[in-house]
Structure 1
Amino acid sequence: MSGALQDVVAVVAGGTRGASRAIAVELGRAGAVVYVTGRSARGRRSEVDRPETVEETAELVAAAGGRAVAVHVDHLDPEQVAALARRIDAEHGRLDVLVDGIWGGDGHLQWGKPVWEHSLAASLRMVRLGVDAHLITSHHLLPLLVRRPGGLVVELTDGTAEWNARFREGTSLAFYVAKTAAHPMAIGEAHELAPHGCTAVALTPGWLRSEAMLDTFGVSEETWREACAQEPHFAISETPTFVGRTVAALAADPERARFAGRTLSSGQLAQLYGIDDVDGSRPDGWRYMTEVVAAGRPADTAGYR
């Protein structure tokens, strides 16, 4: 992938940690100039209250040989996003790739509570983060994307369209609304971008070994398999780098428009592009979730990674 995205200008919105951070790194490694945005910056923690910052992500991009610009942006503030658009316009005059990974709502999630028992303030906040922030970002940045054909929008979500077609027991309704909004958003954006020769997709990683997920299990990336004693199905999990590599490959694919309006998964793209995770395996997380977890079968990743 080295140099495959040379001269591409990208924004990874919400690129502070997790999948978005890894996507920024892999886009930069492939040659793109990456604007990394988010609310967590040095000296300014967001409501997520974690230590990762946009500056650290930019440093990781640089360490991978890429070029990155860290910008503190609250994507729920239209003026801050408009200012970001003005800056990119002044510095490059266009935008080629927009990865919208804005979230930060996990701390508001109350598992297993029906909507009438779930905190209303927390529910509305999740919807704001998962829907409003994405619409604000698209409103201000897509005018830069349509300036020349070939632009790509990636709306990050949690779960394939097929998986999310069913409401799962224990899921918060607001979380479900916030995350599944990426599916129709990608469909609508793809339709509106098509006349300009640009496309949009939704994309989900599998069971992500994000910084927060590792902390939840009390493990590190080096010791992550120890978490399988608590949750055997964690054996199918994948690193953030895996989805980062698949997004970089998608962005470099000259025929990516064939996916317009679809929801893709890291495992699906890995099979298509021949991409492995850092350990050399190729996890197919959502096929595993459907055929093993949802089917009530015991944990066994044979044939799935």
Structure 2
Amino acid sequence: MQDTTGTGPLAGRIALVAGATRGSGRAMAVELGRSGATVYVTGRTTRTHVSEVGRASETIEETAELVSEAGRASGGKGIAVPTDHLEREQVRALVERVDAEQGRLDVLVNDIWGGDHLMSIPSSGKMWEQDLDKGLRMLRLGVETHLVTSHYALPLLVRRPGGLLVEVTDGTAEFNKHYREHLYYDLAKNAPIRMAFGLAEELRGLGCTAVSLTPGWLRSEAMLDTHFKVTEENWREGMKVDPHFAISESPVYVGRALAALAADPDVARWNGQSLSSGQLAREYGFTDADGSQPDSIRYILEVVYGGKEASAEDYR
């Protein structure tokens, strides 16, 4: 069972971050660990196996090590469990392991995605002109995985009042009123918002909370090295490719957003809502790694879509 002698605000809490190999999932797991939680991290890429995403340098073992390192002073710990969340028996076994080892689950984060390599579907083509297999695979990776995970993990989460379910997506409900790329991507990124909304109703009488959470323009590993050919250290060079990249944020930001939610004793006030890292930074007072508070969602809605005369610095 979990040692509750840690000193962090989440000491003694048990979290499962499903889809923690890289990007926002890794950062959220690390920040939960920094706050003292024991964090089970899952994904398909390990030191001996590479998923279809094809990024061998990012593994769940490394994520678990980063969680434990961050949690050294607070009692946090990372535990890597290789899991394909489309494989029901693997997910069942994962939850049974958490139950056997900890007897509880306090935070469930559905961050599974792994669909970036399918984004070659042309955004300009009609749905019926696009690759059906790629589209359906995107929906399986971004929607079905969340449903499978919740099916097996929620019975453990609701065992104790105070549980938190976080559906991670790209965009808030307001932001996603704008059509996203193409039909498959639009469905994949709107579905978690509706999952959180629906599950909030189902969890309400059980003392648990469900929300959806999105980063802003995330400087993920793939965004940096594949799309902009930069690193986190010189990311501002990416503004030469797209000036709006000035409003981007590091994965640490959404990680801190999640940690703040998980530590909030009044988190139920957010039940069913669609939240963003920038919005929660204003509420809880945390910053990105550089000390700024970027609000990508509001910037894009007001400046890029709305035509407001303002700079990205006005939204940091």
Tell me if both proteins adopt one fold, taking TM over 0.5 as the criterion.
yes
Moved over 3 A (4+): 296-299
Q: 8 Å contact 1:208–1:237 — kept in the other structure?
A: yes
Q: Output the amino acid matched with 2:60.
A: V
Question: Structure 1 stretches of 5 or more lacking a match?
Answer: none
* Structure 1 equivalent of residue 297 of structure 2: 286
Question: Paired residue for 2:67?
Answer: 61
1:49 maps to which of 27, 51, 54: 54
**Distance of 1:160 and 1:10 partners within structure 2:** 23
User: Partner residue of 1:120?
Assistant: 132
Candidates 239, 254, 257, aligned match of 1:246: 257
After superposition, what is the alpha-carbon deviation per residue over 1:170-228, rounded to whole angstroms, capped at 9, x for unaligned? x1210110110011100111111111100100000000000000012000000100000
CA distances 1:63-110 after superposition (whole Å, capped 9, x unpaired): 212301000000000100000011011001110000110000111122
Whether the aligned pair in 1 keeps the contact of 2:247 and 2:313 (CA below 8 Å) is no
**Which runs of 5 or more residues in structure 2 are unaligned?**
1-6
CA RMSD in angstroms comes to 1.3
Answering whether residue 160 of structure 2 is matched by residue 148 of structure 1, we say: yes
How far apart, in 2, do the equivalents of 1:44 and 1:21 lie? 18
Alignment correspondent of 1:17? 22
Matches of residues 218-297 of structure 1 in structure 2 within 5 Å? 218-296=229-307
Secondary structure (helix, strand or coil) at the match of 2:213 reads strand
* Amino acid aligned to 2:40: Y
TM-score, normalised with respect to structure 1: 0.97
| Superposition pairs of residues 28-47 of structure 1, within 5 angstroms | 28-47=33-52
| Equivalent residue, structure 2, for 1:6 | 11
Q: Residue 134 of structure 1 corresponds to which residue in structure 2? A: 146
Question: Aligned equivalents of 1:282 and 1:166: distance in 2?
Answer: 24
For 1:205, give the aligned amino acid. Answer: P
Alpha-carbon shift at residue 42 of structure 1 (Å) = 1.0
Match of 2:311 in 1: 300
Identity %: 61
Cα shift readout 1:241-299 (whole Å, capped 9, x = no counterpart): 01101100100000000110110000000000001111110001100010111124577
SS in 1 for 2:148: helix
Identify if the C-alpha distance between structure 1 residues 49 and 299 changes in structure 2 by more than 3 Å, giving closer, same or farther: farther
TM-score by length of 2: 0.94
Aligned residues: 303
Letter in 2 for 1:293: V
Matched with 1:179 is 189
Q: Distance in 1 between matches of 2:294 and 2:159?
A: 37
Whether the 8 Å contact between 2:138 and 2:185 is mirrored in structure 1 is: yes
Query: Aligned partners of 1:172, 1:47: CA distance in 2, in Å?
Result: 21
